[in-house]
Structure 1
Amino acid sequence: MHPTPPHLAPSRYPKRASYDKETIHAILDEALVCTISFSVDNRPFAIPTGFVRHEDKIYIHGSVGSHFIREIEKGIPVCITITLLDAIVVAKSAFDHSVNYRSVILFATPEKIEDIELKTTAFRWLTEKFVPNSWDYLRPIRENEVRKTTVLAFSLDEASAKIRTGMPGEDDDKDLPVWSGIIPLETRRLAPVAEDISKDIPLPAHLQEQR
């Protein structure tokens, strides 16, 4: 087993870290948005964007004219973070309040995808993640649309997860008559809402399945 690189090992609560691929993949597959951090001319940037995982890479896309995309496609190193919040942890003291979460951090250098077929496939992966089973229902993507868009891939070779679960971890205050526990949080899809020009079009089966 290879030693964990120092930049992947958390300095606080290292026991919460996981380097297991299945754990990392599960978090990435549930999350819809990541934040990509990088530095240009000694100025920090952190850009949120949609993403999709396929095998051991994640993919993002953006306009060929995007300043953010044009900078990182040069091959500069980035740090990518993803966080899912599961609960607010309410302790008997404000000092011990916390959150239950599942997170991933990864370090990578962007790989620009030039192949038109692979770019189109990456669009399908991303579309199907956000709206499952919708690709074949939609108007087919045009080649000029593919060419107007940049697709970047990032390896998961340097990735780690960090997870907190459970109730407050306080011991000193356990006998105080103050309520403690968790407030669960949930992100879920609600019923689709049609725009005016689509109100007379039946809701397609793939959207009915997501209700």
Structure 2
Amino acid sequence: MSSPAEYAPTPRTVPTRSRERAAYDAETVHAILDDGYLCHMGFIADGLPVVLPTLYARVGSTLYLHGSTGSRPLRTASGDGLPVCVTATRVDGLVLARSGMHHSINYRSVVAHGTAYRVQDPEERRLALDALVDTVVPGRSADCRPASAKESAQTAILRLDLAEVSAKIRSGGVNEDPEDADLPHWAGVVPITTVVGDPVPDPGMPAGAPLPDYLRRFTGA
């Protein structure tokens, strides 16, 4: 599925508050998705809402979502599909105001609505599994054993075509009431970043085994 330049707003993707923070251009949406690999997938099971954290990978305008074949609600996606709402969020900072009411968070988020379907085609499943591994550590899929037939049968891959999707971003500093400006409380932004640590070899690795180039690039080691 080719990527559009912009996703069309819908009643479900237009926020009711802070509409100025919403974005629908594919470049912004895709950049936020590509900066992470963990999302939350919401759906209805037996008439009740369920939200599951899961891995995802973006390929063009498609999200591949990792699941288990043992999950009954996910099995329904192999038929008419499973209506879902998928959210991914990156926290960039804590905004501390002089008043408790005006504390906030700098964030980048994506919300996608649609119907997810089980991926059945073997070639697409292979592509999706490799994409899920490489989304976590780029280049890793070429440096590990592929899933066996038994392992693959235990893994459900859901496909969600991005169509009804939006981004929402909050950045910048504190928004204060003018009358609070002279209060003696500290105010400002505490940045939040994700740091990749130095790789720790498995005890079974041969002594002195070199770090693969892709892992060296990923960790900066």
Q: Tell me the TM-score normalised to structure 2 length.
A: 0.88
**Runs of 5+ in structure 1 lacking a partner?**
none
> Given the superposition, is the C-alpha separation of residues 55 and 3 from structure 1 closer, same or farther in structure 2, using an over 3 Å criterion?
closer
- Cα distance in 2 for residues equivalent to 1:115 and 1:2: 27
Aligned to 2:3: none
Q: Which of 6, 17, 42 pairs up with 2:11?
A: 6
> Given the superposition, is the C-alpha separation of residues 3 and 139 from structure 1 closer, same or farther in structure 2, using an over 3 Å criterion?
closer
- Cα distance in 2 for residues equivalent to 1:2 and 1:120: 28
- Mean alpha-carbon deviation: is it higher for 142-151 or for 15-24? 142-151
**Runs of 5+ in structure 2 lacking a partner?**
1-5
Query: One-letter code of the match for 2:214?
Result: H
- Cα distance in 2 for residues equivalent to 1:140 and 1:156: 27
- Cα distance in 1 for residues equivalent to 2:86 and 2:206: 39
- Cα distance in 1 for residues equivalent to 2:162 and 2:128: 16
Q: Which of 178, 187, 205 pairs up with 1:180?
A: 187
Q: Tell me the TM-score normalised to structure 1 length.
A: 0.92
Give the superposed CA RMSD.
1.9
- Cα pair 2:7 2:25 within 8 Å, conserved: no
Aligned to 1:98: 104
- Cα pair 1:8 1:159 within 8 Å, conserved: yes
Query: One-letter code of the match for 2:56?
Result: F
Alignment of 1:113-124 (within 5 A): 113-124=119-130
- Cα pair 1:120 1:146 within 8 Å, conserved: no
Q: CA deviation at 1:31?
A: 1.4
Alignment of 1:117-196 (within 5 A): 117-172=123-178, 173-196=180-203
- Cα distance in 2 for residues equivalent to 1:184 and 1:35: 23
Aligned to 2:34: 29
- Cα distance in 1 for residues equivalent to 2:196 and 2:72: 32
Q: Work out whether 1:203 is the aligned partner of 2:217.
A: no
- Cα distance in 2 for residues equivalent to 1:141 and 1:95: 50
SS at match of 1:107: strand
Count of aligned pairs between the two proteins: 211
- Cα pair 1:116 1:146 within 8 Å, conserved: no
SS at match of 1:121: helix
- Cα distance in 1 for residues equivalent to 2:20 and 2:92: 19
Identity %: 38
Q: Work out whether 1:41 is the aligned partner of 2:77.
A: no
- Cα distance in 1 for residues equivalent to 2:7 and 2:153: 40
- Cα pair 1:87 1:100 within 8 Å, conserved: yes
Q: CA deviation at 1:7?
A: 1.2
SS at match of 1:118: helix
Query: One-letter code of the match for 1:147?
Result: A
